[in-house]
């Protein structure tokens, strides 16, 4: 018997396709393999949240709540996990506490067991409401460290933050390494430091972008990590994660043996291997996404952010300026208090760096979002921003120091009234709240299609769901 079996969180249904094909996997592509995935014995399957919500309504004409109910019905024995941006929910601004509470309640009611809750700035105040709400709904709270490197980010900083999350009620801690910055020995030291500081399980989530994830994860396991995020092999590597089967094989017969069966995983692998071929043939999956880019270690730019920057430069006819932008990003990051580069701060810092380079003068033009970052609208930055720089960006306006959501009035009743003409289920209010521009078009299409009750609309108890 393994002394310390490692638990596996499978990310194929969320982060793997978010990283490789811009979150375009459909429910029809997932559904046939869900019963086989349910038999594997994963610790959890990450299948919702992140960009899946936006993608479902913007590109796939799918109801994300329906997707969750189907996942719940087809995987009754597996914990379902989501990625949740704290006070941002799954949108791009801060929402009032009553909206966050309502979202958590509905997510759990429709089938979510584990909420991985993170904040782009690692500001614990932005996680308070989400954590309390998830505990109230008796869900598992996984508190997240957005991992990054800077003069202020070190193991002491991360351990202190992890302790704060544990004290706030988190049931486990996730090291969220979105850009693949973890190196083997730094992972060992970080996990060791966390295990000495908190008494709850530690999960490692690392992308393969820099080519280091497998080595880093193995050292992390040796240092005491409890849970590892992996992706089934056809959707692994590149900007995605280390392959599930490889880790299972590597740990077989050791003290860390996962106990998972490679034959059962092979059934899952075969399904996703066919999808991979389909994505490559259609051009949805670019071979570029599957390679290793060690540049990420120099600039800390996550894969998704890199493609975004390229597009912005292409649109401006300045593709040749990519190197200059990559060199500007760390400078903008330093000016703005070293935010980790993850949604939405990666877009904010990246876009500002693009403007600084293509206009030929730093901060000649400042985006509304960058002003917001300096103003404190997203929370407290890891390092203080200098008063001189604050004045340069904000003029005489003073930054806020309170929790940003304290300035927001309750908004759920107002949102219910605004969305009333589209709503066919209570959850629609939340879809509208997060994507007020995109949701109405989606609702119109869906509501026309659903003049009758479609057999696919099931709730998580398997009863037909009145849409």
Other residues' Cβ atoms within 10 Å of the Cβ of residue 417: 10
Question: What are the chain's domains?
Answer: 7-287 (3.20.20.70), 301-401 (1.10.472.90), 409-451 (no CATH)
User: 198 with 232: CB under 8 angstroms?
Assistant: no
pLDDT of 294 reads: 83
Tens digit of pLDDT for each residue in 169-202?
999 999 999 999 999 999 999 999 999 999 999 9
Q: How far is CA 166 from CA 7, 24, 44, 45, 154, in A?
A: 20, 34, 20, 23, 19
CA atoms within 13 A of residue 400's CA, in its CB half-sphere: 13
How is residue 12 written in tokens?
Answer: 């194929």
- Alpha-carbon span 250 to 323, nearest angstrom: 38
Distance in angstroms (rounded) separating the CA atoms of residues 421 and 443: 10
Tokens of 9: 């969180």
**What pLDDT does residue 67 have?**
98
CA distance from start to end of the chain: 48
How far apart CA 361 and CA 355 sit, in angstroms, is: 8
Instruction: Please answer whether residues 168 and 144 qualify as being in contact, where contact means their C-beta atoms are separated by less than 8 angstroms.
Output: no
Side-chain-side CA neighbours of 234 within 13 Å: the count stands at 18
Return the SS3 of 21. helix
Q: Which of 427, 395, 429 is nearest to 111 (CA)?
A: 427
Residue 250: exposure state from Cβ atoms within 10 A (0-12, 13-18, ≥19): middle
How far is it, in rounded angstroms, from Cα 396 to Cα 407?
A: 20
| Euclidean distance between CA atoms 186 and 204, whole angstroms | 13
Contacts of 306 (CB under 8 A, 6+ apart): 293
At 20-70, the pLDDT tens digits run 998 999 999 999 999 999 999 999 999 999 999 999 999 999 999 999 999
What is this structure's pTM? 0.93
Give the residues of the chain that fall short of pLDDT 50: 455, 457-467
pLDDT confidence of residue 452: 61
């Amino acid at each position: 018997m393994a002394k310390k079996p490692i638990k596996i969180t499978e990310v194929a249904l969320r982060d793997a396709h978010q990283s490789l094909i811009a979150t375009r996997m459909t429910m029809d592509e997932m559904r046939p393999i869900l019963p086989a995935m349910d038999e594997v014995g994963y610790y959890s399957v990450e299948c919702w949240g992140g960009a899946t919500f936006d993608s479902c309504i913007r590109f796939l004409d799918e109801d994300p709540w329906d997707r969750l109910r189907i996942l719940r019905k087809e995987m009754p024995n597996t914990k379902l996990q989501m990625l949740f941006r704290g006070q941002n929910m799954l949108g791009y601004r801060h929402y009032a506490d009553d909206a966050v509470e309502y979202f958590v309640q509905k997510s759990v009611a429709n089938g979510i067991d584990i909420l991985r809750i993170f904040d782009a700035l690692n500001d614990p105040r932005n996680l308070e409401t989400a954590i309390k709400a998830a505990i109230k709904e008796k869900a598992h709270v996984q508190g997240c460290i957005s991992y990054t490197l800077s003069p202020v980010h070190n193991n002491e900083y991360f351990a202190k933050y992890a302790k704060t999350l544990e004290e706030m009620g988190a049931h486990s801690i996730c090291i969220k390494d979105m850009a693949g910055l973890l190196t083997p020995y730094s992972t060992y030291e970080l996990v060791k430091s966390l295990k000495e500081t908190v008494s709850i399980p530690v999960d490692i989530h690392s992308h393969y972008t820099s080519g280091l994830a497998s080595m880093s994860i193995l050292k992390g396991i040796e240092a005491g990590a409890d849970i590892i995020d992996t992706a089934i092999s056809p959707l692994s590597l590149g900007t995605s994660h280390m392959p599930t089967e490889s880790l299972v094989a590597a740990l077989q017969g050791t003290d860390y043996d996962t106990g998972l069966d490679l034959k059962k995983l092979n059934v899952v692998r075969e399904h996703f291997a066919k999808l991979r071929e389909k994505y490559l043939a259609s051009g949805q999956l670019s071979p570029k996404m599957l390679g290793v880019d060690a540049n990420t270690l120099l600039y800390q730019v996550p894969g998704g952010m890199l493609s975004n920057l390229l597009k912005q430069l292409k649109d401006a006819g300045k593709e040749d300026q990519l190197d200059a932008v990559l060199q500007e990003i760390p400078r903008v990051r330093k000016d703005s208090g070293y935010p980790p580069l993850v949604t939405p701060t990666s877009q904010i810092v990246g876009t500002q760096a693009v403007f600084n380079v293509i206009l030929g003068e730093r901060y000649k033009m400042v985006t509304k979002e960058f002003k917001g970052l300096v103003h404190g609208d997203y929370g407290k930055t890891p390092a203080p921003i200098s008063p001189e720089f604050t004045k340069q960006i904000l003029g005489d306006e003073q930054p806020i120091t309170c929790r940003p959501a304290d300035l927001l009035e309750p908004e759920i009743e107002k949102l219910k009234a605004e969305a009333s003409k589209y709503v066919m289920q209570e959850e629609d209010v939340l879809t509208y709240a997060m994507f007020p521009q995109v949701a109405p078009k989606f609702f119109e299409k869906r509501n026309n299609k659903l003049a009758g009750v479609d057999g696919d609309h099931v709730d998580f108890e398997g009863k037909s769901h009145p849409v």
